Amino acid sequence: MKRIYFDYASTTPLDKRVKKEMDKCVFGNTMSLHSFGQEAKRVLEASREKVAGLINAKPNEIIFTSSATESNNLALKGLAFKKKKGSIVISAIEHPSILESAKWLSSQGFVIKKAKVDKYGKLDISDIEKLIEEDTFLVSIIHASNEVGTIQDIEKIRNICKKAYVHIDASQSFGKIPIDVKKLGVDLLTASSHKMYGPKGVALLYIREGLAIEPLLHGGGQEQGLRSSTINLPAIAGFAKACQIAKEEMQEESARLRKLRDRLAKGVLRIKGSYLNGHPKDRLANNAHFRFDFIEGESLVVQLDLAGIACSTGSACSSIKLEPSHVLLALGLKPEQAHGSLRVSLGKETTEKDIDYFLLVLPKIINQLRLISPFKWNTQKK
Amino acid sequence: MKRIYFDYASTTPLDKRVKKEMDKCVFGNTMSLHSFGQEAKRVLEASREKVAGLINAKPNEIIFTSSATESNNLALKGLAFKKKKGSIVISAIEHPSILESAKWLSSQGFVIKKAKVDKYGKLDISDIEKLIEEDTFLVSIIHASNEVGTIQDIEKIRNICKKAYVHIDASQSFGKIPIDVKKLGVDLLTASSHKMYGPKGVALLYIREGLAIEPLLHGGGQEQGLRSSTINLPAIAGFAKACQIAKEEMQEESARLRKLRDRLAKGVLRIKGSYLNGHPKDRLANNAHFRFDFIEGESLVVQLDLAGIACSTGSACSSIKLEPSHVLLALGLKPEQAHGSLRVSLGKETTEKDIDYFLLVLPKIINQLRLISPFKWNTQKK
């Protein structure tokens, strides 16, 4: 059976060119004085330059970390440790790494406030404005939702943040849409490698030049003392290659995916009692997110999987938990609507054929599930 | 020119068999419900079992992290956050990731005490005993020194630690000497992958069943909620393979390296004004560490490098700094003696020929350096 992967928002396979770059990477320790070390150091700095280039940052503004989760933790806690007290504004639809870091900071005496979103997942800018007070030192916003794909207007948000620093979690948008940190005016930015065909185990935190934060990992003083650890060079070199590829191919690939996604959405929405979650336009080109009346999302994922199609309900990070997605609830969906949702995320290997197969299989599964549904779809709707 | 790598204590090249394991690893996200995710989850748990097997731990006692630095930070801070106050005893020859974590904890109100070592780098057990007080909740000791290779008597140390938990940093010893966490009686243990022919970007923290600590990275709740982040599966699978290989080959490889190292040490110590640093017997089989009168270690490293030989002075983590090694100072060496030191660490690719070449080249370089030394070796010694 052919297996179709529709969960690129969760993680992506390695691009073959990235793999090649990693395979040829040297193994030395960047901190060593000898030539093995110096070679490694050169690869590190060349990689940093490539990565910085994708978001118009300076190389010295890029700190390599092990994951977007670590970058998000470092952004929030690193700045909070520096500030010692005050409040942070986040949105109601953040990734768990922001939510849980914020929760932990609130146990340490910091005040955390959550800004509302509208039914499309767009941030309510006037709500952010209300939440920002004199002691607010940070506003942290997810750039594009990891669930529904809605993209926020960062420039507008930046404009009303006054003295507060702005961090964006660009884990889903980095490499998929153009990002210019100077133009957006953000102070901190998280980006991940394994969401854009780079290896797992590497990510970055952009820190605007001049902004001081505290490290989370203390030790040998790598990464300007902000992130100690032996440099994970093959992963960083791979990440850099993925950034270079994204820079060259983003526009074309994005257009291709948008076309496929729109074809998919059009087909899915022909199913009775199906709805699109998230913004109709301001969303990632590879993201489609639906909900279906009288459908339990996990059963749907399992049935699709049996038919060779990998999708998710909620994000991977929350798919193990049985609670309804906090993102979908924030959009105003009822728990049963949230539970009846499906995320379909496309990527480089997605073809028109895959979409057609999906559109062939999905209505049948929905139908079967509704037949056995305790909610008696048929009688209620006829 | 042939290049000889004598810096295995800093980092090791990937074992080809590890590389193969990583190449065939699946890419799915372990948190996904679909088959790509479930496959990934199976690889993760099989890997955990292999890694646990090397130190006689249960699989659920292994938390995967991104580096030994992270594991060390997690051990110290994770337990400190749980305990909220009290004191920690470390040794004077810890890795910077322990020293700096401890320093940071002292800025947070914890009391840090450092136990002395003798001239061979062996911990003064009576000194530890004196330092442990009623409020001491943790004793953290480097199992084998990353600089001089001296191995500590953990069982003896464990016996005098009373109620305090014991953490060992086994970054250098893991995979090189047999470790049985139950027999040693330790509560926490740090081990690294890239020091034993596994990939960079992955390490572990062993946490004895029943011992509760706080996480450093908050988020999706991976690794029993103790280390959130998308699982870096290819690296973990590689680490597991490296553990399996170490289990099978450790004994033989260790005997081979010991023989080579002894041949090297014998040859080096024929040079006038040369001395062995560290313990003559209780040291890692692959570690040799010397000091030379009237020699500046960095010049020596550079000259050796020009001759195609990669060694280090101090550890990689401190080789960029110009301060004398805190480890060597703790052994009682004067700053100029510490500066005149050289670490030669052997590994899988080291051959007898490499040793002979080193023994041919080193005396000439020492001689040349002494000729231009401001300390006028020749006149003083004749």
For chain A, the domains span 4-11+250-375, 16-246
As assigned by CATH, the class of the A4-11+250-375 domain is: alpha beta
Structure token digits, residue A381: 């709707």
Is B233 in CB contact (< 8 Å) with chain A? yes
A142 contact residues in B (CB cutoff 8 A): none
* Contact residues, B window 183-212, toward A, CB-based 8 Å cutoff: 194, 199-202
Dmax (CA) for chain A in angstroms is 77
Query: How far from B283 is each of B68, B120, B167, B305, CA to CA, in Å?
Result: 20, 10, 20, 25
Residues 6+ apart with CB under 8 A from B146: B9, B95, B171, B172, B315, B317, B327
Going from the first residue of chain B to its last (382 residues), give the mean pLDDT of each consecutive group of 10, the final group possibly shorter.
94 98 97 96 98 98 98 98 98 98 98 98 96 98 98 97 96 98 98 98 98 98 97 98 98 98 98 98 98 93 97 68 87 93 97 98 97 66 42
B319 contact residues in A (CB cutoff 8 A): 31-33, 37
Interface test with B, best of A32, A169, A321 (most B CBs within 10 A): A32
Of B12, B95, B216, the CB nearest to A216: B216
Burial (CB < 10 A; 0-12, 13-18, 19+), residue A126, is exposed
Interface test with A, best of B31, B34, B107, B306 (most A CBs within 10 A): B34
pLDDT (0 to 100) of residue A382: 37
SS3 A151: strand
Distance to chain A for B320, nearest Cα, Å:
6
Residue of B nearest to A235 (CA): B201
Whether the predicted pLDDT of A79 surpasses 50: yes
With beta carbons less than 8 A apart as the criterion, state whether B289 and B276 touch.
yes
* Contact residues, B window 4-43, toward A, CB-based 8 Å cutoff: 5, 7, 10-14, 27-29, 31-37
Q: What is the count of residue pairs from A and B with beta carbons less than 8 Å apart?
A: 233
Q: What's the half-sphere exposure (Cβ side, CA atoms, 13 Å) at A151?
A: 18
* Contact residues, B window 305-324, toward A, CB-based 8 Å cutoff: 305, 310-313, 316-321
Per-residue pLDDT reduced to its tens digit, A155-172: 999 999 989 999 999 999
Assess: ipTM above 0.90: yes
pLDDT (0 to 100) of residue B214: 98
Whole-angstrom distance, CA of residue B240 vs CA of residue B245: 9
Is B340 in CB contact (< 8 Å) with chain A? no
Q: CB–CB of A29 and B7 under 8 A?
A: yes
Is A287 in CB contact (< 8 Å) with chain B? no
pLDDT (0 to 100) of residue A200: 98
- Asked if A161 is an active-site residue, the reply is no
Count Cβ atoms below 10 Å from residue B218 Cβ, excluding itself.
25
* Contact residues, B window 57-96, toward A, CB-based 8 Å cutoff: 66-70, 72-73, 95-96
Q: CB–CB of A29 and B316 under 8 A?
A: yes
DSSP state of A208: -
pLDDT (0 to 100) of residue B374: 74
Q: CB–CB of B298 and A218 under 8 A?
A: no
Fold of B16-246: Aspartate Aminotransferase; domain 2 (3.40.640)
Of B73, B194, B298, the CB nearest to A33: B298
Burial (CB < 10 A; 0-12, 13-18, 19+), residue A372, is exposed
Q: CB–CB of A31 and B319 under 8 A?
A: yes
The lowest-confidence range among A92-101, A238-247, A308-317, B314-323 is B314-323
Of A27, A70, A302, the CB nearest to B229: A70
Of B7, B37, B100, the CB nearest to A32: B7
Q: CB–CB of A218 and B35 under 8 A?
A: no
Whether the predicted pLDDT of A239 surpasses 50: yes
pLDDT (0 to 100) of residue B381: 47
Whether the predicted pLDDT of A299 surpasses 90: yes
pLDDT (0 to 100) of residue A375: 66
